[in-house]
Amino acid sequence: MGLNVLVNPYTMTALDGVAYGLLLFTIAAGLTLIVGVAGVFSMAHGTLYLAGAYLAWYLADGGWTGLALALAAAVVVGAVGGAGLAAVVRPLVDRPLGQVLATLGIAYLGADQFNQVFGAEPRSVDPPRAVAGSVALGDYQYPIYRLLFIAIGLVLVVGLFWLVERSRAGAVVRAVVADPGMAAATGLRTSAVRVGVLVGGGVLAVGAGVLGAPVIGPSPGVDTTVLAYSLIVCVVGGLGSIRGALLAALGVGQILTLGVALVPGVAAFILAAAMLVALTVRHRAALPGQPA
Amino acid sequence: MSATPASVTTGASPRRARRLPRWSLPTLGFLGLAAAVALPWLVNGYVIALAATALVMAVLAMSAQLLVGWAGLSPLGQAGYLVVGAYMAARVATLTDLGPVQVLAATAAGAVAAAVTGSLAVRARGIPFLMVTFGLGELVHAAANQWAPGGSEGTHTAPVAALPGLPAMVRPGWVYLYVLACVLVIGAAVAVLVRTRFALLLRAVAAHEPRVQAAGHHTGRLLLAAYTIAGGIAGAAGALAIAVTRYVSPADAAMGVSALALAAALIGSGSMLGAGAGAVLLVAARDWVSGLLGGHGPTLLGLCFLLLAYLPRLRQASRTLRLPRRRT
Amino acid sequence: MTPQQTPGRSRWRLVVAVALLAAVTACTGSSLGGADNSDEEIRIGLIVPKSGPYKSVGDDQVAGFRLALEKLGGELGGRPVKVIEADEGDGKATALASARKLIEQDKVLALVGGATADTVQTVYPLLKESGVPLIGIGGRPSTVEDPSYLWSTSWLSQETGAAIAGHLRETVGDGRVWVIGPDYIGGHDQINGFVDAFREAGGELANPGGEPAWTPWAPTPTTEFSPYLTKIKDSDAVAVYTFYAGTSAVEFVKQYRQYGVDVPLYASGFLTEGAPLAALGEQAEGIYTSLNYSTTLDNAANRDFVRRYSAANDGQLPNLFHVSAWDAVLVLDQAVTETLRGSEAVPTAGAAPASPPAGAEETGEVTSESLTAALSRIGSIDSPRGAWQFGPTNHTPVQAYYLREVAQDGQVWVNRTVQTLTTLGS
């Protein structure tokens, strides 16, 4: 069968790169909306992911109810987190540095509290038993959950695109981004939109944590890693652009898997270099402005 | 003391500033200096070492302040240049244990590194600049892990001698005094720098860049010069850092150190002394208080950052820093 | 709008800051007096990670230390003990500050701790300067020029690999072994310990190029192993040897199973010691590891130790970090007893330019110097891992290494001792 030709170490790794990339996209989509649309420079995004991952670990029971419960909890926690972020950032509307400091402070606090509550050991989260196995692809085995995750990720991508480009809510968001003054003049409540985006971004991040926990599990330091990757994706993709975040996330995912396999040791530099190149070549385009 | 304290400022008379006698500030400054010099005889070695660390951070904060308070740019990667300077000083330490030579070499290394990377950084303003410097700091961190001598474990360095002919300083009290002397020298140099025309031009660029360009100045070059000088100061901080800890490792370039310097610069809101004071306070909070609390340093630092974010002082510093789309 | 400069206020702030600092430090006591423990109490500084990536190791170390102290009734050598804990953080600036605090402010007689080699490296110059010994209970750099003040109850990173290399060579015969590990100095030491001994025994690596595969460690340790696992599947390796700890260990084993790599897995014991084993459970079944301890060791000291630990911790099992800290208490107990017995101080072996002064040793006054001298005289330690004593060159334990297999013991997953591999130490 042609499958055996397609399936070799490099394509397996590339498939993994797609899964990882979609996970990064789910996380970074929230961040790019928060920074690009709500104008909030949130360094606490990794903390939200970690919260979701710990939720998944705490509520996991090997079955679908545990996952459903964790997702429901994720929506609540994400909404509360997003609203909290909105409240924290409200007095700092025109002070991006203040926002950086405040959210950085929250990130430090959150990390320490997670250590207190959940302990400092790395935790492993298993997906529901039904999808915890592996499926044979040619000569290789591939974890079912990662394939499932790719499917979920694609659904999410389509959903987000539809939401931003086709729905009324998306139009409102784009209007507020393009020209807040005009939008306010036409009667749109810009502050409500901002809070809404923050809440939505929060839910996305915590949800990504719940779904992604079997891939990137909860442990101290994960919040910094996730934040760093999300920032790179947002910067390279352009702040506020979902399309850009998707492409950038897929690219970063490939660098972290295929790149590591092909040119080990240099992958870290490639990431940093990509970010710097994107920033300098496109720094004018790195303005919040094009939501999709 | 015939001070004439103003009545509590009400909205009605905003111009009645507090008036102190003219000699009060210099006297207090002198007393503060005397206290700083006398510190080694007053406290134990642990606190002295903390004080020395605080001074090193104060220098890093000054380097950040040149960019924040004058050029209107917020860097999140100054620790990268500190590490470059520290490794250069460690290198020079194998040749000579003279402290001042190490400091000069480290300053040069930091400046060169900043000049090279600055050409990338100063193309951006505001938040993109923050991100670029963050990326550069991480790049230095990764490079140090890969290629620096000692790799991720770092290297030890020999004790430093303050002047030719003097023995190398081992007791923390002497190291502190040496660092204090260097910091005063650097502070004096910086004080001269911020009174030059160049500094004034930087302020102008921060306020309204197109206007300065219209006046015929090449703002990119001005900012690059500022970035280079800031990198040099950070490099000097690196040399002082290894004089204190006698150890350098890539972790010194972590984002947390840059964040601390940036936060200190923000506390200082436009003044070098303020940045120094801010650094002292943050180091005291992070290290000394967390030592008392037994290991919750990150929580404390987080709370500090959170509080700092809301200080009204910051309003001034961040007004010079706008998201690009809002720049008029 | 130009940024306002407020020099007056800032000068105030500087003065206030300095004054505050001075006032506060004055309260901490400004004595420049020397360290004297003329009162009965012995002060020990426990420096472990209380924050950062190694916090769980630190928690284990503290637990082991306190458990042993409890067993001895809170006394070392018959003298009451005060333990002061401090945070080593990530092993760099925080560790140095904490060590300074313990030595200069709390005036401890000896330091115990150091979860990572970084901490030992950072603190090492301070030990010589102040004459305070460190009982290392975790990682340490493989080479230290002058170990007079460094006494480890733990291990040397090369030893785990070197211990199992011979056994693995016998097991695989002419087959080749795929070797993979993290790309930092600790990882290099662990893996090279194995590779050097394995090659010496005539073995060959299955990696392309014949060199171990190094996975990225900086800026963050990688947790995506699929590129390597697919390569392993493709190769003709008959066994895989690795070293990982913490999160990386958990992810490596998980993905090893998920990607269907059915080559037998051998590893340095840290892969399945403590938290990773608890997290992995069934997924770690059948992994063979090499370490200087296992909870299933059958000796009186271990039975007592495991019993005490389980009773105090809800039936959980201890791990190597508990044991190293436990042994540190035994070492100190013997050292203090030896000091109190009193004899002429003999400077420790090795070129020690700052040898402890032959001062306060008459009739067993307990000081840092006399304690350091006594450390070189203590004999064998009756440890849960088996009996060991300090090696003369590096002051690390001359101890047995065991081959262990992950298996189920009732409801619990343990590292079951299969056999004793060899005795290593210097």
Q: Is residue C295's pLDDT more than 60?
A: yes
In the sheet that holds C79-87, the strands lie side by side as: C75-76, C79-87, C42-48, C110-113, C134-136, C150-152
B127 part of contact set with chain A, CB < 8 Å? yes
Using CA atoms, how far apart are residues A75 and A200, in angstroms rounded to an integer?
9
Is the ipTM value over 0.90, yes or no?
no
C52 or C164: which carries more pLDDT confidence?
C164
Geometric angle at alpha carbon C217, from B120 and A17, rounded to 5° = 80
B313 part of contact set with chain A, CB < 8 Å? no
Helix (H) or strand (E) holding B49: helix B45-65
Strongest mean pLDDT among A168-177, B244-253, B304-313, C289-298: C289-298
Using CA atoms, how far apart are residues C275 and A122, in angstroms rounded to an integer?
7
Predicted local confidence at residue B312, as pLDDT = 63
**pLDDT band at residue A42, thresholds of 50, 70 and 90?**
confident
- Spell out which chain C residues touch chain A, with contact meaning CB-CB distance below 8 angstroms: 51-53, 55-56, 59, 183, 213-216, 218-220, 222-224, 226-228, 230-231, 233-234, 246-247, 249-251, 254-255, 258-260, 274-276, 278-280
Predicted local confidence at residue B11, as pLDDT = 44
**Facing residue for C230 by CB, picked from A12, A134, A268:** A12
pLDDT tens digits for range B38-50: 888 888 778 888 8
Contact present, B318 and A98 (Cβ < 8 Å): yes
Q: Is residue C210's pLDDT more than 80?
A: yes
pLDDT tens digits for range A245-280: 899 999 988 888 887 777 766 776 777 777 777 777
Lowest-pLDDT range of A50-59, C271-280, C284-293: C271-280
Predicted local confidence at residue B19, as pLDDT = 61
Stretch B228-253: mean pLDDT: 90
Peptide bond before B298: cis, by omega within 30 degrees of 0? no
* pLDDT, chain B, mean: 83
Q: Is residue B2's pLDDT more than 50?
A: no
Residue C414's contacts (CB-CB under 8 Å, 6 or more residues apart) are: C277, C294, C295, C296, C317, C406, C407, C408
Instruction: Say yes or no for a CB contact (<8 Å) between B287 and C9.
Output: no
Residue B194's contacts (CB-CB under 8 Å, 6 or more residues apart) are: B66, B70, B272
Domain A3-281 has CATH 2.60.40: no
Stretch B294-310: mean pLDDT: 78
Using CA atoms, how far apart are residues C384 and C292, in angstroms rounded to an integer?
10
Stretch A41-59: mean pLDDT: 91
Rg (chain B; Cα; Å): 20
Contact present, B201 and B92 (Cβ < 8 Å): no
Which one-letter DSSP state was computed for residue C214?
E
Q: Is residue C11's pLDDT more than 60?
A: no
Residue B198's contacts (CB-CB under 8 Å, 6 or more residues apart) are: B222, B225
Write down the number of H helices and E strands in chain B: 14, 2
CA of A103 vs chain B CAs: smallest distance (Å) = 7
Q: Which amino acid does the sequence have at C165? A: A
pLDDT tens digits for range C331-359: 999 999 988 887 544 444 443 344 444 44
Contact present, A138 and A7 (Cβ < 8 Å): yes
CA of B155 vs chain C CAs: smallest distance (Å) = 8
* pLDDT, chain A, mean: 82
Torsion (CA) C393, B145, B90, B150 in degrees, nearest 10:
20
Predicted local confidence at residue B174, as pLDDT = 87
Using a CB-CB distance cutoff of 8 angstroms, which residues of chain B are in contact with residue A89?
Answer: none
Residue C211's contacts (CB-CB under 8 Å, 6 or more residues apart) are: C205
Q: How far is CA A127 from CA A10, A144, B197, C172, C226, in A?
A: 26, 10, 64, 35, 18
DSSP letter string over C179-192?
EEEESSHHHHHHHH
Instruction: Say yes or no for a CB contact (<8 Å) between C227 and A258.
Output: yes
Using a CB-CB distance cutoff of 8 angstroms, which residues of chain A are in contact with residue B64?
Answer: none
Predicted local confidence at residue B10, as pLDDT = 46
Q: Rounded to the nearest 5°, which phi and psi values hold at B114?
A: -70, -40
Predicted local confidence at residue C192, as pLDDT = 93
Using a CB-CB distance cutoff of 8 angstroms, which residues of chain A are in contact with residue B309?
Answer: 92, 95, 98-99, 101-102, 105
Tokens of B66: 């040149």
Predicted local confidence at residue C132, as pLDDT = 93
Q: How far is CA B246 from CA A270, B49, B252, C48, C124, in A?
A: 32, 12, 13, 21, 10
A282 part of contact set with chain C, CB < 8 Å? no
Which one-letter DSSP state was computed for residue B98?
B
**pLDDT band at residue C8, thresholds of 50, 70 and 90?**
low
Stretch B19-32: mean pLDDT: 77
Residue of chain B minimizing CA distance to C99: B46
The fourth-level CATH superfamily of domain C157-291+403-424 is Response regulator (3.40.50.2300)
Q: How far is Cα of residue C58 from the mean position of the Cα atoms in its chain?
A: 10
Q: Is residue C5's pLDDT more than 60?
A: no
Helix (H) or strand (E) holding C150: strand C150-152
Predicted local confidence at residue C247, as pLDDT = 80
Q: Which of B271, B289, B301 to mutate to test the interface with C (most CBs of C within 10 A)?
A: B271
pLDDT tens digits for range A191-225: 888 888 899 989 999 999 999 998 888 888 788 88
Stretch C114-135: mean pLDDT: 88
Strongest mean pLDDT among A83-92, B26-35, B208-217, C88-97: B208-217
Q: What is the pTM of this model?
A: 0.79
Stretch C94-103: mean pLDDT: 86
Using CA atoms, how far apart are residues C157 and C424, in angstroms rounded to an integer?
11
A267 part of contact set with chain B, CB < 8 Å? no
Single out the residue of C287, C222, C225, C208 nearest to residue C259, CA to CA.
C225
Instruction: Provide the residue ranges of all domains of chain C, joining segments of one domain with +.
Output: 42-155+304-349+358-395, 157-291+403-424
Per-state percent for chain C, helix, strand, coil, to nearest 5: 45, 20, 35
Using a CB-CB distance cutoff of 8 angstroms, which residues of chain A are in contact with residue C227?
Answer: 9, 13, 16, 257-258, 260-261
3-state secondary structure of C296: coil
Instruction: Provide the residue ranges of all domains of chain A, joining segments of one domain with +.
Output: 3-281
3-state secondary structure of C362: helix
Predicted local confidence at residue A3, as pLDDT = 56
Q: How far is CA B152 from CA A228, C182, C243, in A?
A: 20, 12, 17
Buried b (16+ CB within 10 A) or exposed e, C226-239: bbbbbbbbebebbb
Using a CB-CB distance cutoff of 8 angstroms, which residues of chain C are in contact with residue B156?
Answer: 121, 124-125
Helix (H) or strand (E) holding A49: helix A45-59
Contact present, B275 and B69 (Cβ < 8 Å): yes
Stretch A53-74: mean pLDDT: 89
**pLDDT band at residue C287, thresholds of 50, 70 and 90?**
very high
Q: Which amino acid does the sequence have at A15? A: L
**Facing residue for A124 by CB, picked from C215, C219, C280:** C280
Using CA atoms, how far apart are residues C184 and C159, in angstroms rounded to an integer?
17
Residues 86-115 of B with CB under 8 A from A: none
Residues 23-82 of B with CB under 8 A from A: 74, 76
Predicted local confidence at residue C69, as pLDDT = 92
**pLDDT band at residue C14, thresholds of 50, 70 and 90?**
low
Q: Which CATH code is given to the segment(s) C42-155+304-349+358-395?
A: 3.40.50.2300
Using CA atoms, how far apart are residues B232 and B310, in angstroms rounded to an integer?
31
3-state secondary structure of C205: strand
**pLDDT band at residue C406, thresholds of 50, 70 and 90?**
very high
Which one-letter DSSP state was computed for residue C145?
S
pLDDT tens digits for range B167-193: 888 778 888 999 999 999 999 999 999
pLDDT tens digits for range A127-163: 888 888 888 877 778 888 888 889 988 998 899 888 8
Predicted local confidence at residue C240, as pLDDT = 95
pLDDT tens digits for range C161-170: 999 999 999 9
Using a CB-CB distance cutoff of 8 angstroms, which residues of chain A are in contact with residue C51?
Answer: 112, 115
Single out the residue of C332, C373, C404, C382 nearest to residue C136, CA to CA.
C332
Single out the residue of A228, C226, A108, A267 nearest to residue B145, CA to CA.
A267
Q: Is residue C40's pLDDT more than 60?
A: yes
* pLDDT, chain C, mean: 83
Predicted local confidence at residue C361, as pLDDT = 41
Predicted local confidence at residue C402, as pLDDT = 93
Predicted local confidence at residue C184, as pLDDT = 80
Predicted local confidence at residue C25, as pLDDT = 47
Residue A67's contacts (CB-CB under 8 Å, 6 or more residues apart) are: A56, A60, A127, A128, A210
